[in-house]
Amino acid sequence: MFITADPKIFFEIASKGFIVTASNGMIINFNSDYQKQYNIDLNCDDYPYAKIHTTVPIFISPSDLDWFQLLYDSPRVDSFDDFLFLNILGIKLNKPEKMLCMPPYMFTGIHHWMLKPETSVIKKGGLLLSGTEEQVYMVHGKWWDEPWISDLPRVMYRYLKDQDFGSKNIARVDDATKLLKEEFENYLNL
C-alpha cells in the first residue's frame, strides 16, 4: 500500500474519538454460523453488516485500543481471521456507532475498485481522483510485482466481459492501471 495524499485529517478525526477505516466494498451477514465460529453472540440469528472494513488502514484513538487488545488476545480461527474477526468483534464492542467507512475506491482500491470503469483512477488538477472524483488517499496492491501487474488485464477483462462493458471501458481500465503503476514508481523515487 502506498499513500497518495495527506491523511492527517483522519488522524485528527480519530483523536476526537471517531474511527476512520476503509470499506471492503461488500456486505457480510454475520449470521449464527459466524457467531458460533468466533464465539460472539450478537443477540440475533442474522446480522447483515454494511460497514465491512479492511484491516488497514484504521485510524483510532487510544480509547479504541481495547478492540485490538481483544483481537490479539483471542485464539486464531482461520487464515481470514483478522479481517472477519475484527469486524464482528467491532460490532460486539459497538465500534460501528462511531465509525466512518471510506469508499474502497478512495482508500485502498481493494477488489480492483480503482480499475473498474465507474470508479477507475484518473488524474485531474495534479490529484489522483476516483472516477466519481473523490480524492484517492492510498492504493492497495503489489505494484512492485510485475507478475501481479501483468495479471490485472486478465482479471479486469474477464470482469468487463461478464458485465458486458465495451472497448471504451477497457481503455479506462488500461489507463487506470498505467496511472497507478506510474504513481507507485513516482512514490519510489521521492
Compute the distance between CA of residue 146 and CA of residue 184 in angstroms, rounded to an integer: 12
Reduced to 3 states, what is the DSSP secondary structure of residue 98? helix
Residues 110 and 169 in one domain: yes
Least confident of 95-104, 127-136, 174-183: 127-136
Residues 95 and 110 in one domain: no
Least confident of 34-48, 92-106, 157-171: 157-171
Question: Which tens digits make up the pLDDT trace of 19-72?
Answer: 999 998 888 999 999 999 888 999 999 999 989 998 889 999 999 999 989 888
| Residue 127 β-bridge partners | 124
Residues 77 and 164 in one domain: no
Question: Which one-letter amino acid corresponds to residue 52?
Answer: I
The domain containing residue 72 runs over which residues?
A: 2-102
Residues 41 and 69 in one domain: yes
Residues 98 and 14 in one domain: yes
Residues 7 and 71 in one domain: yes
Residues 47 and 116 in one domain: no
pLDDT at 79: 63
The number of distinct structural domains making up the chain is 2
Last residue of a domain, one of 78, 102, 126: 102
| Residue 102 β-bridge partners | 22
Residues 19 and 43 in one domain: yes
Interior CA angle at 186 toward 181 and 190, to 5°? 150
